Amino acid sequence: MSDKKKLNLVNIIFLTTLPIVSLIALPVWLKSDSYSFKTIVLAIVFYVLAQLSITAGYHRYFSHKAYEAHPLVSFFYLCFGAAAFQGTALKWSQDHRRHHRFVDDIEKDPYSIKRGFMWAHILWLFYEGDKRYNPEEVPDLVKDKLVMFQHKHILKFSVFFAFVLPMLLGSIWGDALGGLFIAGALRLTINHHSTFFINSLAHTLGDQKFSNKHSSRDNFITTVLTFGEGYHNFHHEFPSDYRNGIRFFDFDPTKWLIYSLSKLKLASNLKKVDQEIIMKKMAIMALINFESSYKTFEFLSLSKKHMSKVCSYLKDNVENTFKKLKDLKKARIITVSVNEKHKLSKQIRKARKEFNSSCKLLFGMIRRFENKIEHDSQS
């Protein structure tokens, strides 16, 4: 990406003055006669609606097609996604697909962390990008009449849902200015930087449980702010999965929303990556992280050569049992014989147990080695 790109003065003025205006308006509003707790509730509601429309809508639905949504749900996303003032679903999705395709590429990734934290966070928006969308990158969205309608009328959508609507609702209890500045401007500022943190903080700090081939990380702060988007290392490995937090207790309200919509027949075809594929990634990555840590210790009573052989065996064991399971699944798909399918199903169940056992063995050995390292370090 060229450093000689033209500055986007509209974005610069808007993104810098918005938080300033918000911070000035907040104490003035708190001391005013129109102050109302209802406006705070309104701001929270608009924050939630806008954030979910970005995460469940712009991101998991429009960008990644992780599920299918009813047109009413799609239109809701387009309305309150506009309230987040992050552009059209069409351009947002195009930029995000480029980010995934060229992640960490300093030239092609629109908000590459390789250009610095602040570039990934906000500075990339201070420069003119491609004003026109590329139909070849978003062919599915170009065919979507609702998406194209929002794209054509984005300024009207954004102004109305971000500022006019909260101001009108605030006027019901006599706090139109609170609706404008608190549920509008201040809420929008928080929406902005919550989303921006995914591009910056979630590519800087956190765990890499699934891959170290890119800078994405699982970051709890961004998880809370964005309703589940902070499981970012998982997402970059499995972008088509409608979930980001794969465990049932993971904080991923976006996942729960999509699942609930499916139960109401408002969403369908929810995509999930096979658990064995996820487990394999976790096992291999746990081994990589462990190997990088034990090699720094010089006081081990266990020889590093011995540990290296054990780790190599554990890795091969996981990969071989996974390949066996994968091959059996493929064989079951292509066979036409009912009896053969039945036999393969039995073999698959057995192979799945073998694979799970190999993963448990790997994690167990890592824990034992870690306990040994801790014991040696204290001796």
The string of DSSP codes covering 205-252 is SSB-SS-SSSS--B-HHHHHHTTSTTBHHHHHH-TT-S-SS-STTS--
**Residues composing the chain:** 379
Q: At what angle do helices 187-200 and 37-52 cross, to 10 degrees?
A: 30
Residue 25: pLDDT above 50? yes
pLDDT (0 to 100) of residue 124: 96
Checking 260-268 for CB contacts under 8 A at 24+ apart, the result is 261/69, 261/70, 261/73, 262/67, 265/70, 266/69, 266/70, 266/72, 266/73, 267/67, 267/68, 267/69, 267/70, 267/73, 268/67, 268/68
Looking at the chain, the whole-number percentage of residues with pLDDT higher than 90 is 82
Say if residues 111 and 119 touch (Cβ distance below 8 Å): yes
Nearest to 155 by CA among 73, 85, 55: 85
Residue 2: pLDDT above 50? no
pLDDT (0 to 100) of residue 27: 95
Q: Identify the bridge partners of residue 231 per DSSP, sorted by sequence position.
A: 218
Q: Residue 3's CB: how many other CB atoms inside 10 A?
A: 6
What is residue 96's three-state secondary structure? helix
Residue 317: pLDDT above 50? yes
- The residue-averaged pLDDT of 237-241 equals 96
pLDDT tens across 168-196, in order? 999 999 999 999 999 999 999 999 999 99
CA–CA distance, 42 with 192 (Å, rounded to integer): 17
Q: At what angle do helices 71-82 and 89-101 cross, to 10 degrees?
A: 90
- The residue-averaged pLDDT of 291-299 equals 64
Looking at the chain, the whole-number percentage of residues with pLDDT higher than 70 is 95
CA–CA distance, 161 with 124 (Å, rounded to integer): 25
Residue 1: pLDDT above 50? no
* DSSP state letter for 162: I
Residue ranges of the domains in the chain? Answer: 9-268, 275-378
- The residue-averaged pLDDT of 203-220 equals 96
In our burial notation (b when 16+ CB lie closer than 10 A, e otherwise), range 251-279 reads bbbbbbbbeebbeeebbeebbebeebebb
Q: Residue 226's CB: how many other CB atoms inside 10 A?
A: 26
CA–CA distance, 145 with 172 (Å, rounded to integer): 34
Confidence of residue 79 (pLDDT cuts 50, 70, 90): very high
Say if residues 145 and 152 touch (Cβ distance below 8 Å): no
- pTM exceeds 0.85 for this model: yes
Confidence of residue 56 (pLDDT cuts 50, 70, 90): very high
In our burial notation (b when 16+ CB lie closer than 10 A, e otherwise), range 8-36 reads beebeeebeebbeebeebeeebeeeeebb
Q: At what angle do helices 304-334 and 338-378 cross, to 10 degrees?
A: 160
- The residue-averaged pLDDT of 58-73 equals 98
Nearest to 84 by CA among 10, 150, 21, 163: 163
- The residue-averaged pLDDT of 98-113 equals 96
C-alpha Rg value of the chain to the nearest Å: 25
Confidence of residue 366 (pLDDT cuts 50, 70, 90): confident
Q: Which two tokens stand for residue 176?
A: 């139109």
Q: 330 burial class (0-12, 13-18, 19+ CB within 10 angstroms)?
A: exposed
Do the bridges between strand 68-69 and strand 267-268 make them parallel or antiparallel, or are there none, so unpaired? antiparallel
Residue 65: pLDDT above 90? yes
CA–CA distance, 112 with 99 (Å, rounded to integer): 8
pLDDT (0 to 100) of residue 374: 72
pLDDT tens across 135-158, in order? 999 999 999 999 999 999 999 999
- The residue-averaged pLDDT of 252-270 equals 98
Residue 302: pLDDT above 60? no
Q: What is the mean pLDDT of the chain?
A: 93
Residue 299: pLDDT above 60? no
Q: Residue 61's CB: how many other CB atoms inside 10 A?
A: 24
- The residue-averaged pLDDT of 245-269 equals 96
Say if residues 155 and 145 touch (Cβ distance below 8 Å): no
Nearest to 1 by CA among 151, 113, 77, 163: 113
pLDDT (0 to 100) of residue 163: 98
